Each structure stands twice: as C-alpha cells, then as structure tokens.
C-alpha cells in the first residue's frame, strides 16, 4: 500500500500539484484511508530522492528542482529502493580530513577541515558503484553521527544539518577500473566505469564535491526532457 501511495504522490509532485504547500501526514492518511505509519513509509523515498524535505514538527515541503536537484547519480541510487531491490552500503571512510583538491573545488583554503564519506553502493548485495564525497566540516560535521550503511546522504544532510542542495554541476567521463577499484567493486581490472564528478551547491555556495564510479555493465542511465519530461495534463 505504501508503494502505491508513494508512486501517486511522486506523480503529483512532478506535475507541480503542491506548489501551494505539501499536505501533512494526518491529511494524507485521511485522503488515502491508511495509517500514518503507511504515510511515513510512503514519504521516505520521496525525502530520500530529494523530492520533498521534512523536519520534525513541520509539514513536508516540495524541493525546488525536484527530480533534477541531485543529478543522475543520485537518481540511480534512489531508484534501487523504488525498483524493489535491496539497498545497502559498505562504509569505507567516515571522518574529518583535509584534502587540498576537494577544498579547492569548494572554494576553501587547502587546510580547511572537511567531512569525508566513502562507501560502496550495493543493489541486491552486488556492487554498483563507489561513492566518495567531501563537504565543509563547519556545515556537515553532524554527519559523523549518521549510520550510512543504508541512509541517504542528502536525507541526513537535510535532517541533521538543515541543508538541502538546490543546484550544481556534473561531469561524466568514461574510465577504466584501477586494481584497487576492481577489488572493491568485484570486477575485472580495466572494466568500464562511468566517473561522475559533481559540485553541489546551496544558496549559490559550493557545498559538496563528489566522485562516483559506477559500473558500466550494471547500471543504465536515462533522462527525459521537453514534452516527455513535462507531459500535458488532461482533464
């Protein structure tokens, strides 16, 4: 039931139905004739995918930019849950570091302290990608307390730090798996990988630098634009 409710709400979000405000849990429970627990389960993938944001004691709100706010790599990872596959992560690193290259991407001095998260993303226990991200520690330090074995980075960034990314840039490059990457991703050395480098921003400030290596033979990416992205409504 929660999947049906979630899919219905997603279609309404993408169609711009909630421009004047997103309904609360009680209102949605009455609308669909289900429990509030079912509504919470239905809203979770919408929050995780960046379509809505919610804080304790507040109504959810629709995120500007919706499905495009976090870019294609996040859409791929969020779609694991939506497809019914089992999602998990193996956390390799989760600590504060200094990294001059990442700091430069965020327009910070080389010695700036950064929160760093590195993890392998799994679908039905099979690796699909290696994800590495850096954010300013001053903004994202509370993420040290999060359990990222299953949690969404953007969901935790919203919940713990009150930050929702609202734009950014991405660059996609075809690369070959190094020996270390091949070991982590359980693939042959030299296997095709899609490297996605992105800089995410919040209120025109660069806040996230990410490198994601996705296995080319385990993931297909698709997007829509123009009339396909915004189909005409029929009364």
Q: Rounded to whole angstroms, how far apart are CA atoms 45 and 56?
A: 17
The CATH code of the domain at 1-69 is: 1.10.10.10
Per-domain residue ranges for the chain? 1-69, 85-235
Instruction: Catalogue the E-assigned strands of the chain.
Output: 52-53, 61-62, 87-97, 114-123, 126-136, 167-176, 192-202, 205-215
Are the C-beta atoms of 190 and 210 separated by less than 8 Å?
no
Pairwise pLDDT comparison (191 vs 6), residue with the higher score: 191
Average pLDDT over all residues of the chain? 82
Cα 116 from Cα 98, distance rounded (Å): 9
Phi-psi region of 63 (alpha: psi -120 to 50; beta: other; left: phi over 0): beta
Instruction: Indicate whether 226 pLDDT > 60.
Output: no
Give the pLDDT confidence score for residue 229 in this predicted structure: 47
User: Which pLDDT score, from 0 to 100, does residue 71 have?
Assistant: 59
Q: Residue 134: in which H helix or E strand, if any?
A: strand 126-136
Task: For residue 131, give both structure tokens.
Answer: 């994800």
Residue 220 has pLDDT above 90, yes or no: no
Answer whether 0.85 is exceeded by the pTM: no
Say whether 103 sits in a helix, a strand or coil.
helix
| pLDDT, average across residues 4-24 | 79
Alpha-carbon distance 59 to 23, whole Å? 7
Do residues 195 and 211 make contact, with C-beta atoms less than 8 angstroms apart? yes
Instruction: Tell me if the domain spanning 85-235 has CATH number 3.30.450.20.
Output: no
Supply the pLDDT for residue 223. Answer: 58
Domain pair 1-69 / 85-235, same fold? no
Q: Could you report the per-residue pLDDT of 109-139, keeping only the tens digit for each?
A: 999 999 999 999 988 888 989 999 999 999 9
């Amino acid at each position: 039931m929660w999947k049906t409710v979630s899919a219905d709400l997603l279609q309404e979000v993408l169609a711009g139905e909630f421009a004047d405000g997103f309904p609360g849990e009680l209102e949605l429970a009455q609308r669909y004739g289900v429990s509030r627990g079912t509504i919470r389960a239905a809203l979770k993938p919408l929050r995780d995918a960046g379509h809505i944001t919610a804080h304790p004691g507040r109504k959810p709100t629709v995120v500007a930019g919706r499905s495009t706010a976090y870019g294609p790599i996040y859409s791929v990872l969020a779609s694991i849950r939506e497809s019914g596959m089992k999602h998990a992560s193996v956390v390799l690193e989760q600590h504060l570091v200094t990294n001059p290259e990442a700091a430069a991407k965020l327009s910070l001095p080389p010695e700036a302290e950064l929160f760093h998260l590195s993890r392998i993303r799994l679908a039905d226990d099979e690796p699909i990608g290696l994800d590495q991200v850096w954010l300013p520690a001053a903004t994202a330090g509370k993420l040290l307390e999060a359990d990222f074995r299953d949690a969404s980075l953007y969901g935790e960034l919203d919940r713990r730090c009150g930050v929702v990314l609202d734009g950014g840039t991405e660059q996609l490059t075809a690369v070959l798996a190094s020996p270390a990457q091949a070991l982590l991703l359980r693939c042959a050395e030299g296997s095709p990988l899609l490297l996605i480098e992105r800089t995410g921003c919040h209120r025109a400030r660069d806040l996230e630098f990410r490198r994601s290596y996705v296995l080319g033979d385990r993931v297909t990416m698709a997007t829509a634009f123009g009339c396909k992205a915004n189909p005409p409504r029929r009364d």
